[in-house]
Amino acid sequence: MPDDGRHPYFNDRRAVFWYLHLEDALAAATSEGKRVIVQWGNQKCGGSRALVEKNILKEEIAEFLNAHFVAVAADSTAPDPDVAALVASLPKHEPTPVCVYLAADGRLLHSTAGGRPAAVLLQDMTEATGRK
């Protein structure tokens, strides 16, 4: 699968540049002074589709995400091994989709179920930017 910034299986109309590998996203986050958000889901999950194609397409969410985060798209059926290990280490296991928020050094800030309303997603992202 090419790492060209497109979401690997959902159409977000290129509102966000998506990394496929956590290592690349962490390097970009460090150089850009941003956090990392990992979108863990799969192609057959309606909640995953809604998260990307509806919520992330909302102007205020895409703008906030691009300003403060580097985004990783992770397919739960064939994930980057680093992302799979990260999700396995989460204190609570949510069904897909899951949003995982990381500091640029890879520290876990928090994680939440991703199939929630856009306002909650924006609140989660805002909280993640304030965590140390």
Taken in order of first residue, the domains within the chain and their CATH numbers are: 18-130 (3.40.30.10)
* Residue 4 predicted with pLDDT over 90: no
Average pLDDT of the chain? 92
Per the CB < 8 A criterion, the answer to whether 76 and 132 are in contact is: no
| C-beta atoms surrounding 44 within 10 Å | 11
Q: Which of 11-20, 45-54, 63-72 has the highest mean pLDDT?
A: 63-72
CA distances from residue 14 to 51, 83, 94, 105, 116 in whole angstroms, order as listed: 14, 22, 27, 26, 21
* Residue 2 predicted with pLDDT over 60: no
- Note the pLDDT tens digit of each residue in 99-116: 999 999 999 999 988 888
Between CA 77 and CA 32 the distance in angstroms is: 30
Between CA 131 and CA 53 the distance in angstroms is: 27
pLDDT band at residue 83 under the 50/70/90 scheme? very high
